[in-house]
Structure 1
Amino acid sequence: MITAVLTVLAVSAVAGCAGDGPSDAGAKPKAKGTATSATAYPFTLKNCGTDVTYKAAPQKVVTLNQTAAEILIHLGVGDRIVGSGYEVEKTPDAIAGQYKKIPQLSAPGQEIKHEKLLAAQPDFVYGSFASMFTAEQSGDRKQLHDLGVPTYLTEFDCAFHESVAGANFDMLYEEYRRLGKIMGVPAAGDKLATEQRAVVDKALGTVKKRDKPLKVMWFYSTYEGTPWAAGPGGLPQHISELVGVQNVFADAKTKWAEVSWDEVAARNPDVIILADLTRGEPNDTAKEKIDLLKKDPLTSKLAAVKGDRFITIPGSHMDPGYGSASAVPTLVDGLNKLG
């Protein structure tokens, strides 16, 4: 009964702010975060195989995860976010003040539930993970569209647990441009894409060439003692190819693969790239991962472990987001220092 009431309220709120009625026909309200809107509304985008129509510049946005919120802040429209969730790490200092003003609709590390999302009365929902757009979590996309709430799901993760063939930075730059258009600030989307491309290109220009590619393992996390590593289809694989190293789990079946310590030892990476996570799960931080590798009877014998051949990258930067571009100079600098 509570859910039904919330749904009715949400539909009414969305209908009330959609601006489709006769009294709003001639109104041209300015969108927050921009003096004028260069986007011509309405327009339709095909996003993850679904045609989504955006009737006006969103003013009440819910971002389903921290990464999505940070991207909108960097686009200059963070003041339009009325709620966010799945907060997993400390916000970068440069945007911490803006991010702190955003109401959190779920506990740290937790996903926003459908009723909580509807209570925020959003006119646009943006998320980075397909697993969040489900009936059990924030609501599936069709459900939200039927309520009059357009959505955007990153093209990197259109289907839960399915790899995206050929994921690359161009997809991320295009996401910035699409979000810029959706939010009515297309110039900001172009600017952000250009800035991030420059970060990646500058780092790639400093790569030290090697006769033989180094073998690397992208060590993301452990679950009940089992390691998870980056496989094909995600940005870690793309970054590996860009900088000229070999991902030892490039032949895995998924972009984040459950592997084994025996496999890690057998593939014997030259360098281990550590995801520094702050979720509070066991062995999440880079320091904890190093301690684990050094104490384990099998992995402690690996040359990479004995030689402290580790490179630490914030875990969130391994998933598509604003921080992903900075993962490239971090990796290149680390590899160059290792010699």
Structure 2
Amino acid sequence: MRPWKLCGVAVVVALAATACGDGAGGGADQGAPERGGAGFPVRVTDCQGAATTFATAPRKIVTSNAAALEMLLRLGAGDRVIGTGFPPGKGTLPADLEAKARKVPVLSKSVIPKEKLLGSGADLYIDSFAAMKTMGGAGDAPTAEEFGAAGIKHLQLASTACAPMAKKPQRDLSGVERDIKRLGAVTGTSERADALVAGMRAKLGTVHKAVGGLAPAKRPTYFFFDYDAGTKQPVAVCRKQVANAVIGQAGARNVFEDCDGDFKPVSWEDVVAKNPDWIQLAVRNRGGAKANAKAFDEAAAFLKGFPATKGLAAVRNEKFLRIGSERTTIAGVGNADAVEEIAHTLHPARFKAAR
């Protein structure tokens, strides 16, 4: 799933509006949304400074994809979702959330067509990206005027929508945390949002104690191999993508942190030149453990058989991590789980010593 290179949502700070130019997750504190008594009104702005005010919590929400839907389900606001695009694949969510997700009408398996979105009856559209034009086949994204005429407020997830144009890299998960808290404020579920963020921070805190003090030279290098993006030309995760933060928080160095933006096509020669210590076999969930294992095996087999990569030490020694793409590149509480898994795999001795 490819985010667009446009701005998303930034939260209004009490004294100054923070645009996404200061990072979707690069550590800049965007603060909490402005709000009045009893939690409302809540006011948020997009990266251009255009404000949206919520006098009350929305009742009919449409989500652009599985990431926004999952956040709402975890916040306890899933019963207000009346439709989604890019629905979660079978097995991508915990069993309790998946059962609830299956009840949400699928408006499109990809980008929701403009006419269907505007006619959905929603009062809020939560967009993980900043535009819909480049996904193909769904027409142009609605304009602000069209959203207004349909009575739909438009809110984006800043950690993905703002990322490509942010001035700073994503090196921590603060952008993801802000997205969760922002949705909590808008939907009136702030207490639940705080609990979700606290759970993430607890996991990250344990990891940080074990590997946070590692100097850059002591951190193993790491290549995120997006197998489903195609093997003819690899696609790197760059410094402004959420995955860069996941990798860094786990005590590793993204071999393509030097590339600007969020994603970038590279060459296999580039990968070989980086000579990564570890390679994540990133595949998208196939809907079950058996199918996922098969996909991971296929990704490993490709690297072992491909002339350009079979000689890499990481490939010869099978320094592979089998972690799904979704938990690494799509914003959500699963990012903290991915940090934990990567860190324990790369630095087992440090966690044993901490016990």
Query: Following the alignment from structure 2 to structure 1, what is the Cα–Cα distance between the partners of residues 300 and 167?
Result: 30
5 Å-filtered alignment, 1:301-312, equals 301-312=311-322
Q: Which amino acid aligns with 2:258?
A: D
Question: Which whole-Å deviations, capped at 9, do the CAs of 1:54-87 have from their partners, x for residues lacking one?
Answer: 2321110001101110000000110000001112
Cα–Cα, structure 1 residues 88 and 97, in superposed 2: closer, same or farther, change >3 Å? closer
For residues 304 and 199 of structure 1, do their structure 2 counterparts lie closer, same or farther at Cα, with a shift above 3 Å needed?
Answer: same
Matches within 5 A, 1:20-59: 38-41=38-41, 43-49=42-48, 50-59=50-59
The residue number in structure 2 matching 1:290 is 300
Q: Unpaired segments of 5 or more residues in structure 2?
A: 1-36, 288-293, 351-355
Equivalent position amino acid for 1:150 in 2: K
CA separation of 1:302 and 1:176: change in aligned 2, threshold 3 A: same
Which residue of the other structure, out of 196, 199, 207, is the alignment partner of 1:192? 196
Q: Is the 8 A contact 2:234 2:265 kept in 1?
A: yes
2:63 touches 2:81 (CA, 8 Å); kept in 1?
yes
Deviation at 1:327, TM superposition (A): 0.9
Structure 1 CA distance for aligned equivalents of residues 88 and 55 of structure 2: 32
* 1:218-297 alignment runs, 5 A limit: 218-221=224-227, 222-223=229-230, 225-278=232-285, 285-297=295-307
Q: How many angstroms does 1:96 deviate by?
A: 1.1
1:140, 1:161 → 2: CA distance?
21
- Measure how far apart 1:141 and its partner are: 4.5
The answer to whether the Cα contact below 8 Å between 1:126 and 1:152 also exists between their aligned partners in 2 is yes
Range 218-227 or range 289-298, more displaced: 218-227
State the identity as a percent.
Answer: 29
1:66-77 equivalences under 5 Å are: 66-77=66-77
Does the Cα contact within 8 Å between 2:224 and 2:281 map onto a contact in 1? yes
Superposed CA deviations along residues 121-169 of structure 1, whole A, max 9, x for unmatched, are 1000102122438882552445313433111111123359545623331
Q: Deviations over 1:203-238 (max 9, x none)?
A: 333439587221111122433611012111122222
Q: CA deviation at 1:44?
A: 2.0
Structure 2: distance between partners of 1:290 and 1:188:
39
Alignment counterpart, residue 176 of structure 1, candidates 177, 180, 191: 180
Looking at structure 1, the residues matched to 82 and 182 of structure 2 have their Cα atoms a distance apart, in angstroms, of 20
Hey, what does 1:63 align to over in structure 2? 63
CA contact (8 A) 1:229 1:249 kept: yes
Are positions 1:330 and 2:341 aligned together? yes
Letter in 2 for 1:287: D
- 1: CA distance between counterparts of 2:349 and 2:243? 19
Structure 1: 5+ residue stretches without partners: 1-36
* Counterpart contact for 2:163–2:261, Cα < 8 Å: no
Q: Using the alignment, how far apart are the partners of 1:137 and 1:287 within structure 2? A: 39
- The Cα RMSD (Å) is 2.7
Q: TM-score if structure 2 supplies the norm length?
A: 0.76
Question: 3-state DSSP class of the match of 1:300?
Answer: coil
Q: Is the 8 A contact 1:162 1:254 kept in 2?
A: yes
Larger radius of gyration: 1
Displacement, 1:88?
Answer: 4.9
Paired with 2:321 and 2:133, the residues of 1 have a C-alpha distance of 33
Shift in Å, 1:241: 2.8
1:128 maps to what in 2? 128
Instruction: Specify whether residues 60 and 179 from structure 1 end up closer, same or farther in structure 2 by C-alpha distance, changes over 3 A only.
Output: same
Show the counterpart of 1:147.
150
Q: What is the CA distance between 1:45 and its match in structure 2?
A: 1.2
Partner AA of 1:154 in structure 2? L
User: Residue 100 of structure 1 corresponds to which residue in structure 2?
Assistant: 102
User: Aligned-pair distance for 1:319?
Assistant: 2.1
Secondary structure in 1 aligned to 2:257?
coil
Secondary structure of 1:82's counterpart equals: strand
Higher relative contact order (CA 8 A, sep 6+): 2
Output the amino acid matched with 2:222.
Answer: V
Aligned residues: 297
Quote the Cα distance in structure 2 between the aligned partners of 1:188 and 1:79: 15
